[in-house]
A and B are shown apart, each in its own frame.
Chain A
Amino acid sequence: MDIWSILDLKQTTDLKVIKSAYAKKLKITRPDDKPEEFQILHSAYKQALHWAKISRKAPESQLDWETGVETITQVPVEEYIDSSSTEELNPSQEIMQNENPLIENIEQESLVDPLAQVKSDLVSLLANKERRNNPLEWQFITHNPDLLDWQVADQLSAFIVPKLVQKTMETRRSGRHKRLRSKVNIRVLVSTPILEILNQVFEWSHHPQNIYHVLEQSSAEYFLTTLSSFEHSNVEGTIGIKGGAKIIEKANVLSDTQVILRKNVQFGNDVYRLLAFFVDQFLVSYLTAFILGTEFLKKKLSINLNGDKFLLIIILVTVIYSWLMECSRHQATIGMKLFRLKVYSKKGTRISYWQGLLRNVLFGASIVGNFVIALINYMLTHHRYLHDRLSGTYVLNYADIKRKKAFS
């Protein structure tokens, strides 16, 4: 169905006709009762309005102009104010009216540049590195009632922005052939907190076009990226609460596991971890047996290895080996690397040596614990084994972290 038949209307550019047709239809398609039909009706209405507005602007639709002009729903501004103020003047409105000349005064003054003082203060402030990064020094701008006026603020913004962004050209010879290379350095003179304060006054992130007016492309882009680094941060304030003995922020209701889950990372699964374990065991026992088996060590240590002792030594070597490997920058033993597993701390970083030691001593103990522990581990959720849990570490699928998110 096309939009006009949804609205029960002949194609028209008359906004008033479209609106009343929509109103009529809406009364029988209430959003509470028929949400889907309402959505269709509403989008048809919006399209019709849009079409009508565009066709009105087109030069060939002279005819439409003649019929449509009076139907614009706006009331001329001055007229409206007049009518409302003559109706009933309550005291507060009177105050406002009396002050109208005052507002005009401010505007007139702005022609003489009331900002001259502010501008010169600003230049001297920016010249001093310590002062310019102290939020208190900026009070002459943040607490300046003159800047409540859009025009004045924009005027000052155009003055301040080019001064905040410094662009230096650096040329030097580099590379093998000592070719002349030039590098452009752009930097913002003030620290981020200051920029944040100023952004509240000048609203640069809301009106990026203002930046492009006064800066060249590359500087403007750099400036806006710097701004966007703190834009829309989640503010949760406790400000303004009155009374009460204390305001307590409850710990994050998400457990660490849930936090990791939220990041869409997958835990290393049982099969991979078991395979990794076998690979490591094979390597460790082979090497240990090889080293212990050499004639030289046999003579030197003069020990007679029986099975139990040999097993204990292997466990000990395994513990030390995995401890060192997992705390290294690889964050994984050789076996784990093969199966793309990595060990992470709660914060998602490399684990500390103490954490690694605890983890691997527990790991050694669970090898001794044999089947019982293996069974318990198998039944635990998220493939988080006892030694993972007790030491507060995670074994995650390394491939997922690299290309972690779920969909595109």
Chain B
Amino acid sequence: MSVIGIDLGTTNSLCAVWRNDSVEIIPNRLGHKMTPSVVHINKNNQLSVGQVAKEQLITQSSQTVAAFKRLMGTRHTIRIGKKEMSAIELSSLVLKSLKEDAETYLQESVTRAVISVPAYFNDNQRNATKLAAELAGLTVERLINEPTAAAVAHGVHKKEDGIFLILDLGGGTFDVSILEFFDGVMEVHASAGDNFLGGEDFVDALVDMFLSEQEIKKSDLSPFELHDLHMKMEQAKRTFNHEKEIPLSFTYKDVTIENKLSYEWFMKAITPILMRIKSPITQALSDSNLSLTDIDDIILVGGATKLEPFRRTIAQLLKRIPNTNINPDEVVVHGAAIQAGLINRDQALDDVVLTDVCPFTLGTEINNPNGGERAGGHFLPIIERNTTVPVSIVRTLESAYDNQTELLVNVYQGENRLVDKNIYLGTLSVKVPKGPAGKEKIDVRYSYDMNGILEVDVTVLSTEKKSNLLIENSPGHLSDIELEKIRKQLEKLKFHPRDDEINRAILARGERLYEQNLGELREYIAEVLAKFDNIVDRQNPQEIKKAQIQINEIFDSLEKGSW
């Protein structure tokens, strides 16, 4: 039985499998490699995921949602129509759709997967990802860090020794990893990142800059106007890779603003975002005790690295031209599929071993004996960031005051010396016999596994009682009953039949184009759509196929503006 590799991205998701000594990317129901991570639920509880949903982002924005990966592991939920859903549930819908595609492609049932996550995802976010997979009926064999996956893909294909700096700028996250290859060993030296820096932020920066220059408040825009502007800026972002000036027309409250965006304007808007790429790079280099001259090659991963100013900034910062020989969109899923092959112990990968690191510091809250009034709330690091995993470290701690009967081990992740500024992961409480301060000792063991999931064990030395941490109150944690409830709710949502997926994608796209255009073009689109509806109704497969190709060509040229 195959294990599939999944790249569950902020903007797009992909799925691949290791077969016949190579990676095969599994096409979705529309025949595309990339499935947009967008979910749409219509009024009849019918569900669409991917391209069809993405087309409806503008036309039915209140019932469609995208970029929800950013809410993974947080307490936020999103209202879609009448339903309220968490990022976990939404992600599980995307995973379910990928799973179905894989099953159709492989002609067998698929229940095991390797899923890639940003290296800088914390414990809550990783658990949320695992939960999403569980809800979709997939067992997670491994959570692999995205830059690591990219490096694996690069390493397995190139078989070149050396130290590589991997920069992964996805839709929503930025990860930096330093990886060394030698004799079939892939060793990650350090990972660092920014969970809120990605391709989407560049577009947001353009939208914000444009609105502030036009003195329009973002909240005054209707959802349609906002999405329209967003799409136009997204387009502009791509066009600036080869143009110096772009005309832009934007209709706000029936007034059309005609504007020309210059390259200088573009650079000015995105500079604050570009500035944020420096610090994770410096951190990764210093954590791994390497300097820029030790790096043999720079590998760019993630769709957003196609952005020309990003590449330029990297070249400027690192005084080096990054390697662009691999397709940044597909490299992560390649790596995930290779890892899946490794787990299946595929012969061709027998001589490859991968070691990864824990990208952040994990520790507990302690009382500082010299702290005086502010004794509490101090952070004691137990697993330091960029320690090679799997790792298991014990620290012995003792009671702080006389006759203490309960010790609380609060688990935190972060780099600050005070726990308040770190991320809270959970609490473990142990009972101890009464005694003078310092008499009772406990062993706190932190184990961080290959999936990046933390386990905390506490042993009271005097009673030898052991407890194990169940992170109960962390955001995103669900009890079995709650899980079952969500599973039932999700089952009520029905995917549209696969067959008419292509037709629906075309219709959704047509409707969006209809709304975006005016006048004659609009009438023309309506005419084309009506014709297509007619053909679909006649149910002649050959005729439909022909019409599909034709209408897509028409829409393509419409969108390129060459009409």
Residues of A at the B interface (CB closer than 8 Å) are 19-20, 22-24, 26-27, 30-32, 35-36, 38-39, 42, 73-75, 77, 80-81, 84-85, 87-88, 90, 92-93, 95-97, 99-100, 103, 106, 142-145, 147-150, 200-201, 203, 206-207, 228, 231-254, 258, 261-264, 266, 399-400, 403-408
Contacts and interface: CB of A to CB of B under 8 A. Distances in A.
14 contacts: A35-B390, A39-B388, A39-B391, A92-B324, A207-B282, A233-B421, A237-B196, A240-B70, A241-B66, A241-B70, A243-B80, A262-B408, A406-B399, A407-B367
Question: Could you tell me the dominant secondary structure of chain B's interface residues?
Answer: mixed
Contacts of B366: 405-408
B62 A243 contact: yes
Contact of B315 (A103, A145, A237): A103
Interface in B373-387: 375-378
B68 A26 contact: no
Contacts of A38: 355, 390
Nearest to A32: B450
Contacts of B232: none
A27 B163 contact: no
A231 B62 contact: no
A235 B422 CA distance: 10
B66 A248 contact: no
A95 B172 CA distance: 26
5 tightest A-B CB contacts, nearest first = A405-B367, A23-B183, A405-B376, A35-B390, A407-B397
B70 A238 contact: yes
Contacts of B399: 406-407
Contacts of B267: 145
Contacts of A93: 321, 324
Contacts of A250: 75-77
A234 B271 contact: no
B204 A241 contact: no
B163 A74 contact: yes
B294 interface: yes
A31 B367 contact: no
A150 B398 contact: no
Contact of B398 (A42, A147, A408): A408
A148 B354 CA distance: 34
A95 B308 contact: yes
A143 B269 contact: yes
Nearest to B388: A42
Given A35-B390, A240-B10, 12 more contacts: A143-B271, A144-B268, A149-B316, A240-B198, A242-B66, A243-B63, A244-B65, A253-B75, A405-B376, A405-B400, A406-B397, A407-B442
A235 B196 contact: yes
Given A241-B67, A244-B80, A206 B62 contact: no
B501 to A, nearest CB: 20
Contacts of A148: 271, 274-275, 313, 316-317
A97 B535 CA distance: 51
B39 to A, nearest CB: 9
B64 interface: yes
Interface in B245-304: 267-269, 271-272, 274-276, 278-279, 282-283, 293-294, 296-297
Interface in B199-229: 200-201, 204, 227
A88 to B, nearest CB: 7
Given A80-B297, A97-B321, A403 B400 contact: yes
Nearest to B74: A236
B406 A147 contact: no
Nearest to B306: A92
A142 B325 CA distance: 33
B42 interface: no
A106 B375 CA distance: 51
Contacts of B477: 253
Centre residue among A20, A87, A203, A403 by max chain B CB count within 10 A:
A403
Nearest to B242: A95
Contact of A99 (B74, B84, B312): B312
B231 to A, nearest CB: 10
Contacts of A253: 75, 473, 475, 477
Contact of B71 (A23, A143, A241): A241
Interface residues on B, range: 35 or more
Contact of A203 (B196, B278, B475): B278
Contacts of B423: 234
A27 B351 CA distance: 7
A81 B272 contact: no
A143 B184 CA distance: 44
B401 interface: yes
B512 to A, nearest CB: 13
Interface in B402-426: 404, 406-410, 414-416, 421-424
Contact of B421 (A80, A231, A236): A231
A203 B80 contact: no
A408 B77 contact: no
B513 to A, nearest CB: 18
A407 B441 CA distance: 9
A36 B162 CA distance: 27
A90 B311 CA distance: 14
B401 A31 contact: no
A384 to B, nearest CB: 16
Contacts of A95: 308
A262 B410 contact: yes
Given A143-B271, A248-B78, A206 B283 contact: yes
Nearest to A39: B391
A248 B275 contact: no
Contacts of A232: 414-416, 421-422
A60 B359 CA distance: 38
B524 interface: no
Given A248-B77, A403-B400, A35 B392 contact: yes
Contacts of B62: 243-245
A63 B422 CA distance: 49
B439 to A, nearest CB: 11
A263 B427 CA distance: 10
Contacts of B322: 96
B64 A244 contact: yes
Contacts of B367: 403-408
A73 B162 contact: yes
Contacts of B497: none
Contacts of A206: 279, 282-283
Centre residue among B65, B368, B409 by max chain A CB count within 10 A:
B65
B529 to A, nearest CB: 23
Contacts of A26: 185, 353, 355
Interface string B53-85: 000010001111111101100111111110010
Given A234-B421, A248-B77, A73 B182 contact: yes
Nearest to B369: A408
Contact of A143 (B162, B272, B324, B325): B272
A42 to B, nearest CB: 5
B230 interface: yes
B230 A77 contact: no
Contacts of A263: 376
B272 A96 contact: no
Centre residue among A201, A236, A246 by max chain B CB count within 10 A:
A236
B389 interface: yes
Contacts of B65: 241-244
Given A407-B407, A408-B369, A200 B68 contact: no
B422 A240 contact: no
B315 A403 contact: no
B297 A84 contact: yes
B205 to A, nearest CB: 9
Nearest to A231: B416
Interface string B361-372: 000011111000
Centre residue among B68, B272, B406, B407 by max chain A CB count within 10 A:
B272
A238 B204 CA distance: 12
Given A103-B316, A406-B399, A246 B79 contact: yes
Given A42-B388, A403-B367, A405-B376, A245 B80 contact: yes
